[in-house]
Amino acid sequence: MAPQARIEFPEHLPVSARREDIAAALTGHQVVIVCGETGSGKTTQLPKIAWAAGRGRTGLIGMTQPRRIAAKSVASRLAEETATQLGGFVGWQVRFTDQVGRDSRIKVMTDGILLAETQSDPQFRAYDTLILDEAHERSLNIDFLLGYLKTLLGQRPDLKLIISSATLEADRFSAYFGAAPVVEVSGRTYPVEVRYRPPAETGKAAKDADKGRDEEEPDLEAALLMAVDELAREGTGDILVFLPGEREIRDVQEALRKHHPPHTEILPLFARLSVTEQEQIFKPHSGRRIVLATNVAETSLTVPGIRYVVDTGQARVKRYSIRNKIEQLKVEKVSQASANQRTGRCGRVAEGICIRLYDEQDFQSRPPYTTPELLRSSLAGVILRMKSLHLPEIGAFPFLDPPEPRRIHDGQALLRELNALAEDGRLTRIGRELARLPLDPRLGRMLVAAREKAVLHEVLVIAAFLSTQDPRDRPLERQAAADQKHARFADENSDFVAILKLWRHVEELNNHRKSQRKFRDALAEDFLSARRVREWREVYGQLTTQVKELGWKVADALPAVPTEEAGADAPAGYANLHQALLPGLLGNLGMLTEEGLYLGARETKFLPFPGSGVKKKPKWVMAAEIVETRRIYARTVARIEPDWIEHAARHLLKVSYSDPHWAKKPAHVAASLRATLYGLPVVNGRKVHYGPIDPVQAREIFIRAALVAGEYDTRAAFFGHNRKLLAQIDELSHRSRNARIAVDEEDLYRFFDDRIPEGIHNGAAFEKWLREAEVKSPKLLHLRREDLLRERGADARDFPKELDLGGVKFALAYRFDPGAEDDGVTLLVPLAALNQVPQGRCDWLVPGLLEEKALALIKGLPQSVRRAFVPVPEFARAAAEALRPGETPLTEALADFLAKTTGQAIARDAWRPEALPAHLTMNYRVLDERNHIVAEGRDLPALRRELGGEAARSLQQAAAPDERADLGRWDFGDLPGQVELTSGGRKIAAYPSLVEDAGQVALKLLDSPALAREQHRRGVCRLLWRAFPDLLKQVEKDLGVRLKPAAMQYALLGNAVAAPAAAGGKPQDGRGQTNLTLNQLLADVLYSAARAVLAVDPADLRRQNEFDSAAQTARPRLAEQARETARLAAECLEHGHRLNQQLARAPASKEAAADLRAQLPGLVFPGFVGRLAPAVLVHLPRYLKAMERRLEKLPGRPERDAQMMRSLTPLLGQWQARARREEQTTGLSPEMEAFRWQLEELRVSLFAQELKTPEPISVKRMEKRWAELIAR
């Protein structure tokens, strides 16, 4: 039975005049919008209008208020107006307080209470009417309720909804609820004068900016005191002052108490006041009252007796920072709508005055309405609330202002990052914890971790810091001084530690303050903003209160400043503190790169902000925020360890396993673990036991690697038996290169797979199983030869273990593994013997592979040639049976055999040995004396180029005892062509040779027969001269004079020939080299002369008696031949010098000039006298004269020259191409050498026919000779 209530409507309230309209609208519609200015009486009269209209009979009339203080005051006012006891007809409920009785018909509550009731009463059956008051504030709770009711009303047609709003956005509410009727109510009764008094107009001088003091705050405080004085002079009446927050209220309260006489009552009004303190506002009083309020007094409750308002135009607003991804409490300018609401709080008892402490232009520039909380909140926090309330998914929820899908996705991603949201969309344990904290989710995540790590107090300080602006000032004109003051707080490892140092300093200053003014002065001295410090401390207090309400314990002492020495696990230790912060900052990590930048999430690259105290760049850092200005910077950074990340981000890590392989020592399958966080390699290459991760694959790898491949240490009898049997069969299969003999690994795998049960994937498990299994079957895992050897055959003689090369045996190794680097046959070559390996013989490989290689070579021939050898396999088999390996290259021997068999000639260029499969070419493995591999490959010339010098030195070390130096005559007996040495336990061949060395002759052992022959030729010639010392002395003296002019040209030769016109002028002066080049030229002349007079090739003289006989025969002609050779050399050098000068003057034809410049270095070059055979040297002047004649004729007949060049070019190009190939393999053949000089004769015939040639020559004849040459 409802208590008897007095229902009256005060006539002075504007809403009373519209009560019948409101009641009619409520009767005829399910939703009614009531829009009225502040002071119209909506809040107190709407519940009574609903009751008078018959509502509240089948359920409660519920009215929501955005704040607890408003809910209590409104309920008290309604009880007073209805002449009932509070808790009777009118009840009220806020958090922790419920005064709603069985007889209550009107219930006033916070919107959070109604929202929570969606869990216990989702249909709101306890109510027949709901009134959402102050809907214009658009808090999250209001938007949640609007969306919830929009869906619910269709299911509850009996439920009525009144939306009360103080703004002009009523049309939006109406449209949202399907054109619900709007009833507008007029506002205040008396006019209000608005005065603008920005702080600058107060005339009060700014404080000393040089001290770094925040000028804004003292000016505002002074302006506020002056505004109160101005209003006090206007007459009686209470004053309502709007301030941003509790801390500002306390400061202004202190300033006003000092400024005004004792009879003035100064009261605070903010949401966290106790009930007793709140009730002071509504009690009757005498004298003037000044109420200092936050925006709670804008619309939530009406303070009686207010005639004047002072509006600072500011409010503390929670806003999500997109930049640093957290919600911050910041002091911001209020909107025009809020400013007008504040103005509307006066003029209700008499004409009012509102002083705005900002100018009119500032007012006009402000946004019209306050941004809905949904649009300035972290959607992560919104989603968290909705999940905890079991509301529909955010994307499907009918918000008045739906958030963008991108922001929804970002919010969900952040919650997953914080480990608050599971993949299935449900809240995790951490998510449920965060939902209890009315904080930014990132900060909440830090606090949850801080509680677990026993660093809650420290992280509360840091979280409050991150929620506000940095209090450190850095005035442009005093940056150095500010930096010096702030440096004492810096920490080389962590800017978060620096925050704690700063906090301790601020608290110590506050504890020792004598007054608020002294405190501000002390902060200013340290370049700290008093206003921002106050905000920091206030937010810290709010956060502390909130966590204490949850039952969390916060230490009263100052937070500790962690150090490395404190230990990682000690309370407030460095590791504990940063491991608590890390879970909230997982998106702001960075890893140092080689270029000195940090690689962040999703390939962002950044640097620590220059103001950071962390100067030495740690390998890993975390940052409170990452901002982009001209560059990307991380603010508030700290050194962290990657294993901390692994623990904190376990739910985010993308883990992959690579290279699963058998690890022999631990006897299990291991793999490389790679774990990345947003692309950052937190773990890279850590070895882990792969068995528990993928037991099926691990078992397969265990069988294949440990048992099939034998990579396993065990004493089990089967293992030794199987390895011995497999080795016997494997050797035979490799040597014969017969895959049909080789053991198939798949057969082996199936053998073990059939016998070993599932789940066995490591050594320990296998050994345990094997012990039990062998009790019943002792030879369960023993292989049998007949099971493995599927085919017999292969003669071991066809695959020898050694290869005899020139009487020296070289070991052979075989491998049958297509694709492997050493697949096929490998010749083991001691380093000292590298230069003596005959490639021609090695091309034959071994008898067992000769048929296969012949087949591949024939198949590689052009089709026009190959069709003469069909069927190819039969020809290959016949060739393999008929041919025997020798020094002749295999292709030449095969060409001869096929030509004799079919009459089809094969040009040398037709073969394509480079296209052969790798196993059909010899692989060379070079070994040092300790049998270590020095190099390996199939390109023997390349190996010689790389290691030839080292090989020669290695041989000389082995041959040192057998060598002699400074020989003057042949007194060492006959020289064998080859001797045998030992190097590294292997026998190698060496080749004795006389070697000329700086005019002396030495007996040395060389590693190459070709090199030994070449050196011996020159050494014999030098020894011939040394056999006649008097003659040598006389000839050297004579020729030294004769050759001196030529030596100057010889000194210039290299530079001039290389690039005669490169310098654009005269060649370099080479007089400094004259003596050196004279000695070189003289040595070459003596060598060439000796070659010319000896009746045999000096390289063939190896017996002492033959040398003595040849020397006596040659002596009479030596001196004259030396003078003739010197004359030829001088003549050639003179021709060459003139040609260089003529070519430098850019002849008429560029093509001809290019050809001549290419020709000249092949005739006259450094060392040409000694390198050219005497038989060629005598013709060299004629070749050079022909070049000069060509140049002389060129201007008059360029077309004729070009025509002759065109006839010469094909032959020249073909010879050059073949010569390059031969020089890279076997060396230039005598036939090719002879053809080269025939080309010079052809040039004489073409360009200077008048100089004659020793024999008739023409292009046609030369083409025929070339065809014959390449067919051999």
Copy the structure tokens of residue 1073. Answer: 């080299």
Closest by CA position to 383, among listed 410, 359, 363, 401: 410
Pairwise CA distance, residues 1191 & 1147, whole Å: 7
| Element spanning 935, H or E | strand 933-937
Cβ-count burial 789-800 (b if 16+ within 10 Å, e if not): beeeebeeeebb
The Cα-based distances of 386 to 109, 316, 430, 1161 in angstroms read 20, 24, 15, 89
Helix intervals (H) in 860-1008: 863-866, 872-882, 890-902, 940-959
Pairwise CA distance, residues 516 & 488, whole Å: 24
Domain residue ranges of the chain, discontinuous segments joined by +? 14-185, 192-376, 440-648, 1028-1178, 1197-1272
Q: Identify whether the C-beta of residue 857 lies closer than 8 Å to the C-beta of residue 890.
A: yes
Residue written as tokens 């009641």? 23
What's the N-to-C CA distance of the chain in angstroms?
129
CA 164 to chain centre: 56
Task: Give the other-Cβ count within 10 Å of 1031's Cβ.
Answer: 14
Pairwise CA distance, residues 613 & 491, whole Å: 6
What pLDDT is attached to residue 1073? 43
Q: Identify whether the C-beta of residue 358 lies closer than 8 Å to the C-beta of residue 196.
A: yes
What pLDDT is attached to residue 128? 96
Q: What is the pLDDT of residues 9-39, one digit of tens each?
A: 988 888 898 999 999 999 999 999 999 877 7
Pairwise CA distance, residues 1159 & 1187, whole Å: 9
Q: Identify whether the C-beta of residue 995 lies closer than 8 Å to the C-beta of residue 1008.
A: no
Residue written as tokens 């080859």? 978
Pairwise CA distance, residues 850 & 158, whole Å: 102
Residue written as tokens 């904080």? 439
Common-topology check for domains 14-185 and 192-376: yes
Class of the CATH-defined domain 14-185: alpha beta
107 DSSP β-pair partners: 62, 91
Q: Identify whether the C-beta of residue 1247 lies closer than 8 Å to the C-beta of residue 1147.
A: no
Q: Identify whether the C-beta of residue 106 lies closer than 8 Å to the C-beta of residue 79.
A: no
Copy the structure tokens of residue 1145. Answer: 């003057």
* Full-model pTM: 0.52
590 DSSP β-pair partners: 600, 621
Vertex 87: Cα angle to 84 and 93 (nearest 5): 135
Task: Give the other-Cβ count within 10 Å of 94's Cβ.
Answer: 21
- Sign of the alpha-carbon torsion through 729, 735, 740, 743: positive
Pairwise CA distance, residues 1122 & 487, whole Å: 89
What pLDDT is attached to residue 1060? 29
Pairwise CA distance, residues 748 & 185, whole Å: 94
| Fold assignment, 192-376 | Rossmann fold (3.40.50)
Copy the structure tokens of residue 740. Answer: 């049909």
Residue written as tokens 């198939």? 744
Pairwise CA distance, residues 508 & 561, whole Å: 14
Q: Identify whether the C-beta of residue 276 lies closer than 8 Å to the C-beta of residue 224.
A: no
Pairwise CA distance, residues 894 & 773, whole Å: 60
Question: Phi and psi of 727, rounded to 5°?
Answer: -60, -40
Q: Identify whether the C-beta of residue 940 lies closer than 8 Å to the C-beta of residue 839.
A: yes
The Cα-based distances of 248 to 208, 219, 1262 in angstroms read 21, 14, 109
Series of mean pLDDT values for 10-residue runs along the chain (1272 residues): 78 88 94 86 92 94 90 91 93 87 94 87 94 89 91 94 82 91 80 88 39 49 88 89 86 84 83 70 84 82 85 85 63 89 81 93 91 82 84 88 86 91 90 84 93 93 89 83 91 94 91 80 89 87 87 80 56 85 94 93 87 92 83 90 93 93 94 93 92 94 92 91 82 65 78 92 94 91 74 64 85 87 92 86 90 91 88 90 85 88 85 91 91 92 88 73 78 86 77 88 85 91 91 90 83 48 31 61 92 91 91 92 93 92 79 91 91 94 95 90 93 89 75 93 94 92 90 72
What pLDDT is attached to residue 200? 64
